């Protein structure tokens, strides 16, 4: 893994960008949007989880998004990065058919984070 772009996108050492499947984080680098509440925290959390580490990539149905980024589930040492971001309140579920293999799991994690008012669920008006 070369670098973290934001809370849900990384760049591999090959130069390919990877957009995490099933999750979205507040914006920090979108050219047409301001930095959103909890965006910097989400990017920092993602950096802590993946920077300098070997990531494992898993596909669902779609290969790439409209920007040419690879669409993948990302894990480090067997830990699902998106699941951890959701659980800790840095991200919320973002599902688009046909890539919904982990939707139920992610939705349950988001419900728990909302109810516990962790991360963005405590600090941002959602």
| Domains in the chain: boundaries | 3-123
Degrees to nearest 5, angle at CA 46 with 52 and 20: 105
Q: Which of 3, 64, 69, 114 is catalytic?
A: 69
Three-state secondary-structure class, residue 28: coil
CA 80 to chain CA centroid, Å, is 10
CATH, domain 3-123, list 2.40.50.90, 3.40.50.2000, 1.10.10.10, 3.40.190.10:
2.40.50.90
Rg of the chain's alpha carbons, rounded to an integer? 14
User: Which residues, in sequence order, are bridge partners of residue 56?
Assistant: 75
Average predicted confidence (pLDDT) for the chain: 94
Q: Which of 27, 87, 102, 110 is catalytic?
A: 27
pLDDT reported for residue 29: 84
* pLDDT, tens only, 14-54: 999 999 999 999 999 888 888 899 999 999 999 999 999 99
* Phi, psi (rounded to 5 degrees) for 116: -80, -10
Three-state secondary-structure class, residue 60: coil
- Please tell me the distance from the alpha carbon of residue 54 to that of residue 107, in angstroms, as a whole number: 27
Q: Catalytic residue at 27?
A: yes
- Please tell me the distance from the alpha carbon of residue 123 to that of residue 120, in angstroms, as a whole number: 5
Three-state secondary-structure class, residue 40: helix
Q: Catalytic residue at 72?
A: no
Q: Catalytic residue at 102?
A: no
CB-CB contact of 105 with 23 (8 Å): no
Using the predicted structure, report yes or no on whether residue 123 has a pLDDT greater than 90: no
pLDDT reported for residue 126: 54
Over residues 45-68, the mean pLDDT reads 96
pLDDT reported for residue 30: 80
């Amino acid at each position: 893994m070369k670098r973290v772009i934001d809370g849900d996108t990384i760049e591999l050492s090959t130069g390919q960008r990877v957009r995490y499947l099933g999750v979205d984080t507040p914006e920090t680098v979108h050219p047409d949007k301001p930095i959103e509440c909890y965006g910097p925290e989400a990017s920092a959390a993602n950096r802590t989880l993946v920077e300098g580490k070997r990531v494992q990539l898993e596909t669902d149905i779609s290969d790439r998004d409209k920007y040419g980024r690879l669409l993948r589930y990302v894990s480090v040492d067997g830990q699902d990065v998106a699941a951890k971001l959701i659980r800790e309140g840095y991200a919320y579920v973002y599902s688009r058919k046909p890539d919904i293999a982990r939707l139920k799991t992610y939705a349950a994690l988001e419900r728990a984070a909302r109810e516990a008012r962790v991360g963005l669920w405590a600090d941002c008006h959602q």
